[in-house]
């Protein structure tokens, strides 16, 4: 990671977003606690993280561009437990991973949505049922027939994105663009049956920039996202849409910037949130936890 003029500009833009952030969330969440270093040699550029349903206290993670099509399972202190390869899938630029419940079954959504130069005429999201068992060899393969791939195109032209989430309330997939000074929130439905290219419709604009990861609570009541310098948080009112929630200024939560920190996820028990970075600048990638200090439900 070289501090070029472009990167300096990005950091300045991230600092400018402070002007659009609401009250601090320091009274709700406290400072970070190190849970453990990522030592597995093949997990060198982690870009997405989501907590597992099948294995409480464990996390599904994946690398950024240039890796094989695979996901890793790690435990609560960052120790590698298993690797699953996605048969017949290409990992062009995987950037984020999300969770989805459909008909009582737990699914993972992997976003091949990176587009640094804004040239891809379509991006992809891969849907697979969450693995429910870990092979003793620690390496397994998910058959191509068990994976559904959705082809997506933006209604207003190619966009680079590193954040996606599935809203359990309106049952829609959302992507958030990255490089604009005011980034876009895009929405589409995921059909049960096979369908041609799906259109990502711009439904909202956020006065922030360079989002690198996002997550939503399993009941849709809280939303969290981050860029290189800040973590942003929204609480959702009953019956409120995603756009209505995001129309309010974000609350700034505690965050100590990491080397190339991109990934973020809620704790399923509602006790806080986790962040994880790529290995960069010769520094270790560490699984950090930011505990909630008021209650366990997100309500004061």
pTM here? Answer: 0.91
Mean pLDDT of the chain: 90
Would you say residue 66 has pLDDT above 90? Answer: no
Residue 4 pLDDT: 53
Domain ranges of the chain: 5-291
Residue 279 pLDDT: 86
* Spatial separation of the C-alpha atoms in residues 67 and 206, rounded to whole Å: 31
Residue 196 pLDDT: 85
The overall longest dimension of the chain from CA atoms, in Å, is 50
Residue scoring higher pLDDT (44 or 266): 266
Would you say residue 25 has pLDDT above 90? Answer: no
Per residue in 185-240, pLDDT (tens digit) is 999 999 987 778 999 999 999 999 999 999 999 999 999 999 999 999 999 999 99
Ranges 3-17, 167-181, 210-224: which has the least confidence = 3-17
Local confidence band at 296 (pLDDT 50, 70, 90 cut-offs): very low
E strands present in 52-193: 59-63, 70-74, 80-86, 96-102, 105-112, 123-129, 139-142, 147-154, 161-167, 172-177, 183-188
Local confidence band at 26 (pLDDT 50, 70, 90 cut-offs): low
In the sheet with 198-206, reading across from the earlier edge strand, the strands are 96-102, 105-112, 123-129, 147-154, 198-206, 183-188, 172-177, 161-167
- Tell which CATH architecture fits domain 5-291: 5 Propeller (2.115)
Residue 192 pLDDT: 86
Residue 299 pLDDT: 43
Residue 13 pLDDT: 55
Local confidence band at 17 (pLDDT 50, 70, 90 cut-offs): low
Print burial letters for 240-276: b (CB count within 10 Å at least 16), e (below 16).
bbbeebbeeebbbbbbeebbbbbbbbbbeebebbbbb
The CA radius of gyration of the chain, in Å to the nearest whole number, is 18
Print burial letters for 153-192: b (CB count within 10 Å at least 16), e (below 16).
ebeeebbbbbbbbbbbbeebbbbbbbbeeebbbbbbebee
The C-alpha angle with vertex 65 and arms to 154 and 143, in degrees rounded to 5, equals 85
Q: Are strands 231-235 and 222-226 parallel, antiparallel or unpaired?
A: antiparallel
Would you say residue 14 has pLDDT above 90? Answer: no
Per residue in 111-135, pLDDT (tens digit) is 999 999 999 999 999 999 999 888 7
Q: What is the mean pLDDT of residues 166-187?
A: 98
Residue 298 pLDDT: 44
Residue 145 pLDDT: 96
Residue scoring higher pLDDT (156 or 17): 156
Residue 188: closest CA among 240, 114, 122, 262: 122
The token duo for 270 is 């509602």
Would you say residue 281 has pLDDT above 50? Answer: yes
Sorted by sequence, the CB contacts under 8 Å of residue 241 that are 6+ apart come out as 170
Per residue in 67-116, pLDDT (tens digit) is 999 999 999 999 999 999 999 999 999 999 999 999 999 999 999 999 99
Q: Is 102 helix (H, G, I), strand (E, B) or coil?
A: strand
Sorted by sequence, the CB contacts under 8 Å of residue 98 that are 6+ apart come out as 50, 108, 109, 111, 164, 165, 166, 215
Residue 278 pLDDT: 86
Dump the DSSP string for 216-281: E-TTSSEEEEE-SS-EEEEE--TT--HHHHHTSPEEEEP----TTEEEEEE-TTSSEEEEEE--BT
Local confidence band at 22 (pLDDT 50, 70, 90 cut-offs): low
* Spatial separation of the C-alpha atoms in residues 59 and 76, rounded to whole Å: 7
Most confident of 21-25, 216-220, 277-281: 216-220
Q: Are strands 105-112 and 96-102 parallel, antiparallel or unpaired?
A: antiparallel
Per residue in 53-64, pLDDT (tens digit) is 999 999 999 999
């Amino acid at each position: 990671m070289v501090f070029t003029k472009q990167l300096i500009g990005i950091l300045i833009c991230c600092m400018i977003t402070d002007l659009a952030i609401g009250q601090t969330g320091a009274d709700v969440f406290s400072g970070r606690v190190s849970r453990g270093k990522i030592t597995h040699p093949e997990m060198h550029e982690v870009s997405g993280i989501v907590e597992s349903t099948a294995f409480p206290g464990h996390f599904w993670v994946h690398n950024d561009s240039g890796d094989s099509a695979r996901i890793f399972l790690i435990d609560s202190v960052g120790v590698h437990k298993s690797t699953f390869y996605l048969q017949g899938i290409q990992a062009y630029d995987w950037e984020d991973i999300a969770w989805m419940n459909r008909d009582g079954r737990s699914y993972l959504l992997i976003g091949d949505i990176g587009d640094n130069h804004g040239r891809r005429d379509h991006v992809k999201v891969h849907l697979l049922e969450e693995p429910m068992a870990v092979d003793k060899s620690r390496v397994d393969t998910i058959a191509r027939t068990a994976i559904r791939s959705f082809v997506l195109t933006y209604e207003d032209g190619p966009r680079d994105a590193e954040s996606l989430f599935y809203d359990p309330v309106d049952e829609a997939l959302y992507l958030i663009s990255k490089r604009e000074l005011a980034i876009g929130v895009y929405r589409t439905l995921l059909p049960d049956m096979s369908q041609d290219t799906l259109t990502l419709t711009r439904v909202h604009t956020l006065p922030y920039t360079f989002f690198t990861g996002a997550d939503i609570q399993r009941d849709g009541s809280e939303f969290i996202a981050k860029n290189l310098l800040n973590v942003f948080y929204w609480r959702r009112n009953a019956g409120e849409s995603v756009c209505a929630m995001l129309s309010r200024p974000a609350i700034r939560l505690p965050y100590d910037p990491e080397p190339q920190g991109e990934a973020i996820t809620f704790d399923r028990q509602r006790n806080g949130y986790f962040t994880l970075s790529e290995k960069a600048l010769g520094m270790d990638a560490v699984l950090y936890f930011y505990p909630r200090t008021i209650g366990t439900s997100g309500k004061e």
